[in-house]
Each structure stands twice: as structure tokens, then as C-alpha cells.
Amino acid sequence: SQTIHQWPATLVQPVGSPLSLECTVEGTSNPNLYWYRQAAGRGLQLLFYSVGIGQISSEVPQNLSASRPQDRQFILSSKKLLLSDSGFYLCACTKGTSGTRTDTQYFGPGTRLTVL
Amino acid sequence: GQQLNQSPQSMFIQEGEDVSMNCTSSSIFNTWLWYKQDPGEGPVLLIALYKAGELTSNGRLTAQFGITRKDSFLNISASIPSDVGIYFCAGQWAGANSKLTFGKGITLSVRP
């Protein structure tokens, strides 16, 4: 079964500083990958998804960007953080196309970002 | 756009009681999923439903895919303290790059 790693687990950054969050996936190939943000006490908002290397779709206008340099690596970045970027960032993946159920999304442990 | 409605926002039950949570949508979905999130962790998939009318169990959990494809419910029987957490429903369209639409979640508290 697939395993999703996210790094770092927590991060405190000043306003205006850059950001790089990493998500790596093990145990599957050619997965769809997703970045979500969860504000405190709120639901999950889809930020980006990727169906393959170098292919990124943005769901909402924002201060963030995403990249997929390798099949099982998904990066969330920002050049200048805003206070409103604070939140819990979750990476998710679907099983690769070799699976019979390709639709189910599985989540990583998340990164808690606090922008001060 | 598509929205999923989960209410109430919070539920408080006594240990040992059963609890039922509903999720409704203004649009139909091909797949319904139920997740549980513990504080500070990522959501964990509880049950996935793929066919209208499907009833699926996972231990003390039972979920059903509504006949109209616009709703789903999750039942937890004989609740225990570790059932505490946020329960999210999610709907999915086939072929939509597996993107999910999430409800806002229900926070469940279990009194011992």
C-alpha cells in the first residue's frame, strides 16, 4: 500500500519569507497528487492537483505555487508568505493506474504552517 | 459549484451510544467517501462507496450510498472514546482526475 511523507511536520515563518513544503509518495507509481489547505476548525480546500510530472492544475487563485519534479514528489512553494497562508497543509494521492480502485484519495500526515 | 452539506458542525454523545451522520449534495456523485481526522493528523479513509444503494461496514462503522446519489450517511455503533475526531464526507465525479469535494466536517465528542 502507498505511504505519503510530508516534510516538515511543523513550520513557523515570518511574513514575506519563502516557503517550500515537500510531499513524497511510496508504494505506488504514476499517482495523482493533491495539495489541500485546512484552516483551523474548517474543511479541506483543494489548492493544486497533478496527474503527472510537470503537470499542475491550480484550483484557486492564491499566493502559492506547486511543482512535480518527479513522479512521486510534489512541492508546494511560495516566494513571499502572507499571514493568510497559515494553516494545515495536506498532501494526498490516489493509487496508481495499476490499481482497480484508482479513485480513492489517501492523505499524508500534514504540515502545520504558522506565518507570523 | 458542487457543495456538500454536513450538519450539525458538532455532535456530543455518551460512550456506548450510536450516532448517525448525514451528508447531502446539490449534485450527484459517482463515489462517496468518509474520512476521520484526529487532531494534528491527516484524514484517514474509513469507508468508500462506489454504487448507489451500496451499504458497507467497517467494524462498528456502516455507511450507505444514497439511491439518489446525492447523499450518504455514516453510522457509528457503540461509540468509544477513540471515536472522537472530525468526520468528513467527500464526493467524487468519475473522470474528474479523482478530485474530491469535501463537506466541512462534523466534530464528534464522546463523553465517557
On whether the CB atoms of residues B112 and B49 are closer than 8 A, the answer is no
The enclosing H or E element of A106 equals: strand A105-107
Residue A42's pLDDT is 74
Residue A100's pLDDT is 44
* Residues near B66 by beta carbon (within 8 Å), at least 6 away in sequence: B52, B53, B72, B73
Pairing of strands A65-70, B44-49: unpaired
Q: Say if the Cβ atoms of A46 and B100 lie within 8 Å.
A: yes
Residue A25's pLDDT is 96
**For B3-40, how does the pLDDT look when each residue is reduced to its tens digit (9 = 90+)?**
789 988 999 999 999 999 999 999 899 899 999 999 88
CB atoms within 10 A of CB B36: 21
Residue A98's pLDDT is 45
On whether the CB atoms of residues B99 and B86 are closer than 8 A, the answer is no
Name the minimum distance, in Å, from the CA of B45 to any CA of chain A. 7
Q: Rounded distance, CA B42 to CA B90, Å?
A: 15
Residue B97's pLDDT is 66
Nearest CB to B98; choose among A94, A108, A109: A94
Grid cell in block for residue B79? 461509540
Name chain A contacts of B35, Cβ cutoff 8 Å.
Answer: 107
Q: Rounded distance, CA A97 to CA A33, Å?
A: 13
DSSP A12-65: EE-TT--EEEEEEEES-SS--EEEEEE-TT--EEEEEEEEETTEEEESS--S-E
Name chain B contacts of A101, Cβ cutoff 8 Å.
Answer: 48, 50
**For A67-112, how does the pLDDT look when each residue is reduced to its tens digit (9 = 90+)?**
999 999 999 999 999 999 999 999 999 875 544 454 678 999 999 9
Q: Which residues of B touch A (CB under 8 A)?
A: 31, 33, 35, 40-45, 48, 50, 88, 90, 92, 94, 97-100, 102-105
Residue entry with cell 473522470 = B95
Best CA proximity match to B79, nearest among B13, B10, B8: B13
On whether the CB atoms of residues A15 and A116 are closer than 8 A, the answer is yes
Q: Say if the Cβ atoms of A43 and B48 lie within 8 Å.
A: no
Kindly indicate the confidence band of residue A2, based on its pLDDT and cuts at 50, 70 and 90: confident
**For A7-41, how does the pLDDT look when each residue is reduced to its tens digit (9 = 90+)?**
999 999 999 999 999 999 998 888 999 999 998 76
Residue B2's pLDDT is 60
**For B54-104, how does the pLDDT look when each residue is reduced to its tens digit (9 = 90+)?**
999 999 999 999 999 999 999 999 999 999 999 999 998 766 566 888 999
How large is the average pLDDT for residues B40-52?
Answer: 93
- Furthest C-alpha separation in chain B: 44
Instruction: For A78-113, give one letter per residue: b (16+ CB within 10 A) or e.
Output: beebeeebbbbbbbbbbbbeeeeeebbbbbbebbeb
